[in-house]
Chains A and B, each alone.
Chain A
C-alpha cells in the first residue's frame, strides 16, 4: 500500500497527523462551534432555551458595562499573577540550572510534588494559612505584632496568592527548560573576555532564557485569566473573575445562551492576547521556550 512512498512523503505526514487532527476537530473545534451557535439562541427561562436565533445575548454583552468591568479586572489579575510568577519563578529555575548539586533530579521532583495533591485541596489549604485563625494571624497575634487578625482571606490578595501557588511550577519549569538549552560555553567565553558573573548573566544568560520566561508568562496569564476555582474558594463575591461570571450564568441562572456568549468572549479575548503576544515575541521563540 505504501509502495513508492518516500520518508518525507506529504501523504505519510497527513496520515500521521490525522488522528490528532481528528481529536482536535471533535473535542475542540466542534464544541467551540456549538458554543458559538448557542450564543444566538433565545433564553426562555432557567434551564430552557429555544433555537430561535437572536442577537440579544451579544447586544447585552456589548452594551453592559458590568461585563466589561469584569473582563478588564480578569485581564489585570491575570497579568499581575503572571508577572509575580515570572519574578518569583526565575530565581528557583536559575538555581536548579546552575547548582552543581549531584541529585538535581530531586530538585525537579520537588517542583512536581505539589501536583500529586489535588488542586482543590491545595487551594483550600490557604484558608488555614490566611484565615483569621490561620497560621499567619495566630503567629502574629501570639508574638504581639498585631492586636487583631489581618484580613487576608476572601480578598483579591488571597486570590492572587492562590493563583501564584498554582502557577509557579509552570513558570519555573518553563524557565528551567529554556536555561538548560543555553550553551554553557557562551558564559565561559563571556567570563574569559572579562565579564563579571553579574555581567555574564545580564548579557548572556538572561537574554537567552527570555523565550522560556515569555512562554511562562503567557501560560500563567492565560491560565490565571481563565481560572474559576481559586477566586471561588479564596475570594469574596467582589473578587470574582470572568470565569465565575460564566459559571454563575450557566449554573446559577441556567442561562446557557448568555453563558456561551461570555465563554466565547473570554476565548476570543485570550486568543487575541496570545496572538498579539506571540506576534511581538516571535512564535519561534515561544515554541522554543515551551519545547526547550
Chain B
C-alpha cells in the first residue's frame, strides 16, 4: 500500500517518541527524508500520478470500439487515468489468462452475464464492489442486478447491456416471410445445407437445439434429442463461428446465408448496408453483459470508471455505438429512439419478455455439456 511522505514522517516520529528509534537514527532518517523532499521536483508527483492505469478487457470489434470511443477516451480525458485495453473472442480465453496471472494484472472484464459470473466466483477471481462509489447503479435495471446478487450478495460486477442471439439471414436468399415462418428451424433446413452457420458455443447450440425439439432450454428433459439436433445442424453447417468479427465476415461475404447471431453485430452489418435480416424466434436466447471487477484490482479507480460508463449520456452513446440496449432502466432514464428500436430492447424495464438462461441450471450441466459439444463439433 502506498504511503504519503507526511504519513511516513508521522510514523517515524511516533516510533521515536515510543523509544523504538534512537535519537541519532531518528535525526538521520528525518534528514534523509528532508534531503529527498528537497531533491524532488514538482513534476515527480504528476509522474507518479500518471502511472495510474486501469486494465479493461472486452470483446473487440464494433462493441469495444464503441466503449473506447464513448466511455474510455472521455474517462481518460476527464481523470487522466489511462485505460489499457485488451480483447478476447471467447470469454474462457480471458478466464484462462486471469488464472495464469497474478491478481491485479487483469482488472475489468466486459463479461457475459451470470453464466460466466459463476465461473469467476468458483475460481475465486471476484472482488467486492463498494456500491456507494457507483451512484449511477441506481439507474440500472433491478431485474438485471438480481441474478448477480443471488450468487454473491456483495457484487463483483455491474450489468451493462443486454441482447439476444436470434436468427440472422441473408435477405437476398431468404425472405422475411420465410424466416418468420420457419424461425429456429432454419438452422436445420436442408434447403440451405452448406450455407448454414452458428456460434461455436455450447450454450447457444444446446439452447437452439432445445427450442427445435420443443423443449424448455432451462429445463431440458430429453438431452439425447438435443444432441441429435445439434449434430443435425453441424452436418448442415458450413462453419461455426468463434467471434463477432468472424460472424460478420461470414455473413457479409455470403459464405453463410443463415445463422444464429448476436443482435448487435447484425445491427452493425445492417448499418453497413448488408442485406441481412434478423428475427428473435419465440424463446430466443437472451443474455446480458456486465462490467466485472476482478480480485486485486484498484477498486476506487475501477468503480469510478464503471460509474462513468453508467452515466446516462455515456451509456446511451455506447449503446447506440455497439447496437445493444444499455442496462439503464427506461422507466428512470429517457433513452433515445435509436435504442428503443434495437433488437431485444425491453421498454417495460421488467425483462419479462426475454428468456435468459437459468444460471444455476446451466452451471450444473456446463462441464458435461461443454465436453460433449466439443466432441460433436469435431464430428463425433
Interface residues of A (CB under 8 A from B): 45-48, 66, 70, 127, 131-133, 151, 153-154, 232, 236-238, 240, 244-245, 248-255
Contact = CB atoms under 8 A, between A and B. Distances in A.
A70 B254 CA distance: 31
B213 interface: no
Contacts of B123: 47-48
A151 B194 contact: yes
A133 B253 contact: yes
B96 interface: yes
B367 A236 contact: no
A133 B195 CA distance: 13
A275 to B, nearest CB: 29
Given A66-B375, A245-B378, A237 B234 contact: yes
Contacts of A153: 255
B146 to A, nearest CB: 24
Contacts of A127: 249, 253
A253 B370 contact: yes
A251 B379 contact: no
Contact of B92 (A48, A236, A237, A254): A254
Contacts of A131: 253, 255
- Please tell me the size bucket of the interface on B: 20 to 34
Contact of A47 (B122, B234, B249, B254): B122
B378 A46 contact: no
Contacts of B11: none
B122 A45 contact: yes
Contacts of A46: 92, 119, 122, 366-367, 370
A151 B366 CA distance: 34
Given A47-B95, A47-B99, A237-B240, 13 more contacts: A45-B366, A47-B119, A47-B122, A133-B254, A133-B255, A151-B194, A154-B239, A237-B379, A238-B378, A244-B378, A251-B96, A254-B95, A254-B96
B55 interface: no
The 10 closest A-B pairs by CB, nearest first: A237-B377, A238-B379, A47-B123, A248-B374, A237-B378, A240-B378, A154-B239, A253-B370, A251-B92, A48-B122
B374 A252 contact: yes
A236 B380 contact: no
A254 B90 contact: no
Interface in B236-289: 237-240, 242, 249, 253-255
Nearest to A250: B96
A7 B309 CA distance: 68
29 contacts: A46-B92, A46-B366, A46-B367, A47-B99, A48-B122, A48-B123, A66-B375, A66-B380, A132-B253, A132-B255, A133-B254, A133-B255, A154-B238, A154-B239, A236-B238, A236-B240, A237-B240, A240-B378, A244-B378, A245-B374, A245-B378, A248-B374, A250-B96, A252-B92, A252-B370, A253-B374, A254-B95, A254-B96, A255-B371
A133 B170 CA distance: 15
B9 interface: no
B240 A251 contact: no
Contacts of B119: 46-47, 254
Nearest to B123: A47
Contacts of A237: 200, 234, 240, 377-379
Contacts of B96: 47, 250-251, 254
Contacts of A66: 375, 380
A242 to B, nearest CB: 11
B93 interface: yes
A251 to B, nearest CB: 5
Given A48-B122, A237-B200, A237-B234, A253 B371 contact: yes
A237 B202 CA distance: 13
B107 to A, nearest CB: 18
Nearest to B370: A253
Contacts of A70: 378
Interface in B86-145: 90, 92-93, 95-96, 99, 119, 122-123
A127 B246 CA distance: 11
A45 to B, nearest CB: 6
A66 B370 CA distance: 15
Nearest to B238: A154
A243 to B, nearest CB: 12
B367 A253 contact: yes
A157 to B, nearest CB: 15
Nearest to B252: A133
Contacts of B378: 70, 237-238, 240, 244-245
Interface string B354-380: 000000000000110011001101111
A56 B249 CA distance: 41
A252 B90 contact: yes
B342 to A, nearest CB: 29
